[in-house]
Structure 1
Amino acid sequence: MTAANTLRRRPASTTGVVWIHASPRAMRTHLEWAVGHAVGDALRFVWQAQPAAPGLERTEVHWTGAAGTGAAIASALAGWRDVRFEVSEDPTPGSDGMRWMHTPELGITARRIDAAGSIVVPEDRIRSAMEAAGTDPKALLAELDDALGGAWDRELETYRHASDASPVIWLHRVG
């Protein structure tokens, strides 16, 4: 038996954050169930009023799990149209970090992120932006803004600032 036959590969473990920026109160249990299903555990979040949108609530949850957990969480939340959220997944060896952003008006988008959480725009996307813009500098700025998810950032920024005093909850995926 060779050494390659005796090694067991463990799935890469990573961390991330779920920010549910704004949700109707009636959705709380549904969202907890959706995220819990994605991480494989029953969950109860600590919810707070969302000062930027009276009548809506917010929560922030830190998680640990296998690479791909962030995508599972984002997919589970994407079906709830009236919810503003973000999900991040930190990079691991062999796996890019990701950030998913969702608003009712724009839907969902996914962007690669680096270890600091900054969006990384791939070379091909930059070349495509340059080609689409031609010699028009305003068109290039618009293309690069789109590549960075600018519309989602502008839509979510007000809700992000409202989270400065939020409690932190850690989730650990089992298995």
Structure 2
Amino acid sequence: MVFIHSAPRAFRAHIEWAVGGVIGHALGLDWSEQPVQRGALRAEFSWTAPPGTGARLATALHAWDQMRFEVTEDAAAGLDGHRWMYTPDQGMHSAQTDTGGNVVVSENRVRLALAEAIDQPHQLHERMEQLLGTSWDLELDVFRGASEAGPVTWLHRVG
């Protein structure tokens, strides 16, 4: 999936052209207003292509630093999935995912985070949040649920 959470109206044709070039055919995305950001549009679409196309899509979209987007490439037999998130304030976050879409953090990355935080345990929490992409998720959550077609439901008490 590609989720364009917010993009300036002027970028619409350029985005369609760039993404179409990556997946090999022209696109006509169904754009809608992004109510969270005045003057911005949002769109989403699913795609099917060879493994590695997700990285090429994220790279193509990254050319416009005033937009917010996510690209997901699902896991397949023998291949890990991947997720890319981009925001103008934080840049790009890239993470491996499993078949359920969960972020997978490798043993080596966990060991490095533990070693770096050996004398400062609070740094372990910060590093793990970074590896999981928490701050990107928090920023994008507002844009994910803010469409007229999909109203936001705030849960105040669960359980």
Q: C-alpha separation between the residues in 2 aligned to 1:38 and 1:164?
A: 30
Which residue identity is paired with 1:72?
R
How many corresponding residue pairs? 150
Q: Which residue of 1 aligns with 2:142?
A: 158
Q: Which residue of 2 aligns with 1:172?
A: none
The answer to whether the aligner puts 1:30 opposite 2:19 as a matched pair is no
Q: C-alpha separation between the residues in 2 aligned to 1:164 and 1:35?
A: 25
Q: C-alpha separation between the residues in 1 aligned to 2:120 and 2:97?
A: 28
Larger Rg: 1
The answer to whether the aligner puts 1:87 opposite 2:88 as a matched pair is no
Against the structure 1 CA distance between its residues 164 and 72, is the aligned structure 2 distance closer, same or farther, given a 3 Å change threshold?
A: farther
Q: Which residue of 2 aligns with 1:147?
A: 131
How far off is 1:153 after superposition? 1.3
Query: Once the two structures are aligned, what percentage of the paired residues are identical?
Result: 45
Runs of 4+ in 1 over 4 A off after TM superposition: none
Structure 2, unmatched stretches of 5+, are: 151-159
SS of 1:64's equivalent?
coil
The answer to whether the aligner puts 1:42 opposite 2:26 as a matched pair is yes
Q: Which residue of 1 aligns with 2:106?
A: 122
Tell me how large the CA RMSD over aligned residues is: 1.4
Q: How does 1:69-84 map to 2 (within 5 A)?
A: 69-84=53-68
TM-score (norm 1): 0.81
TM-score (norm 2): 0.89
Q: Which residue of 1 aligns with 2:52?
A: 68
Which residue identity is paired with 2:146?
A
Q: Which residue of 1 aligns with 2:121?
A: 137
Higher relative CO (Cα under 8 Å, sequence separation at least 6) belongs to: 1
The answer to whether the aligner puts 1:102 opposite 2:60 as a matched pair is no
Residues 105-124 of structure 1, C-alpha deviations (whole Å, 9 max, x = no match)? 11112100111111111111
SS of 2:71's equivalent?
strand
Larger relative strand fraction: 1
